[in-house]
Amino acid sequence: MVKAEKNKKLGISFGSEDLFLVEAEEAANNYKVTALLNITGDIPFSTDLLTQESGAEMVGNELKSVLKKNTITAKHLAISLDLTIGNIIKIPYSKILSDKELANHLTWEYQQYVDDDVSQFVFDYYKLAKAPSMRYSELLLVGTRKKVISFFQEMSRHAGVELMRVSLDLISALNAFDINYKFHPKEKIALVEIGLHKIVITVLEGNNLIGYHYTILDEGTQSDDILSLIKLNLKTLFTDYELGTDKSDFDYVFLYRTSIQLKTLELIKASEQNWKLFNPFEQIRLDTELQDKIDYTGDNSEFVEALGLAVG
């Protein structure tokens, strides 16, 4: 009898510079990673395909081939989108609103943010845990165009998997962080996503999100420029969020990459700061077959977002 694969899930980060896949299996509230792949060369995905008639079928068929070739059996898929494909807005809200009143309020909020009829979008919200320094409740309003969701639903059908969840890369990274690290609520933490075309800094108090900042990089930006931008933005964000009167810097800064062309460890070394590498496998077991393939002392941070999806 073939063993059911209901406890396995795929996570794929779409829209980043490179595409990464993680297959994870849940057992007794623990997770074991059973597949890790850079599928950039196998999946010809680009945002241009979202508007092409046969784009979803082509990407789905290629994904199906990848899954078969690598003996990946998970049938439940979660994907994350780059912030250039979706929207994320952090807004305050009142707990006295009914569900219907909140829905109407969020529809109005989202309409202020997008440049088209709000009916062309699908969105959801995540209520944020209230950190000690926050004076009001907040939520993340997350959405994208309906045609984007339709694309990935059709892609999944052609790939022979079921699309269970669509998220944004920032949310996926937060989930990976929460799985791997636990901090005191008063500690100030920054997660820095470094891509070829962007830097995203997520600001936390403990494990609670309190803000994020998005910076587009010019083509050909050098490592020294990236390093300077990170330092400048960290200093600015620490001040803007009024994170401490007795300190001037974050307690912890974690860096991770979204392209294998980047050398995150070299950036950390050159920074001369006490920065850390975001290790997506800090608390996650790897399948025996993978243990011989992964350098635990190296940079595996490109799998942060896909791991966050597969264990979410």
Average pLDDT value for residue range 183-187: 91
Q: Which domains does the chain have, with CATH numbers?
A: 86-144 (3.30.1490.300)
- Give the per-residue pLDDT at 226: 93
- Give the per-residue pLDDT at 5: 55
Q: Is 247's pLDDT higher than 70?
A: yes
Predicted confidence band of residue 133 (pLDDT cuts 50, 70, 90): low
- Give the per-residue pLDDT at 38: 95
Residue pLDDT, tens place only, 256-275:
999 998 999 999 999 999 99
- Rounded to the nearest 10 degrees, how much is the dihedral formed by the CA atoms of 108, 309, 250, 254? -140
Average pLDDT value for residue range 203-218: 89
- Give the per-residue pLDDT at 255: 98
- Give the per-residue pLDDT at 6: 60
Average pLDDT value for residue range 232-243: 91
Average pLDDT in the chain: 90
The contacts found for 182-189 with CB under 8 angstroms, 24 or more apart, are 182/207, 183/207, 183/251, 183/252, 185/131, 185/132, 186/132, 187/251, 187/252, 188/238, 188/243, 188/244, 188/247, 188/250, 188/251, 188/252, 189/250, 189/251, 189/252, 189/253, 189/254
- Give the per-residue pLDDT at 2: 36
Pair of tokens at residue 81: 């989108």
% of the chain at pLDDT higher than 70:
95
Q: How many CB atoms sit inside 10 A of residue 185's CB?
A: 14
Average pLDDT value for residue range 65-79: 96
What is the distance between the alpha carbons of residues 121 and 144, in angstroms, rounded to a whole number?
A: 6
Q: Pick the more confident residue, 305 or 214.
A: 305
To which residue do tokens 């996570």 refer? 11
Average pLDDT value for residue range 63-92: 92
Residue pLDDT, tens place only, 42-53:
998 888 899 898
Predicted confidence band of residue 178 (pLDDT cuts 50, 70, 90): very high
- Give the per-residue pLDDT at 136: 64
In single-letter form, the type of residue at position 222 comes to Q
Contacts of 252 (CB under 8 A, 6+ apart): 183, 187, 188, 189, 190, 276
Residue pLDDT, tens place only, 6-42:
689 999 998 767 999 999 998 777 899 999 999 999 9
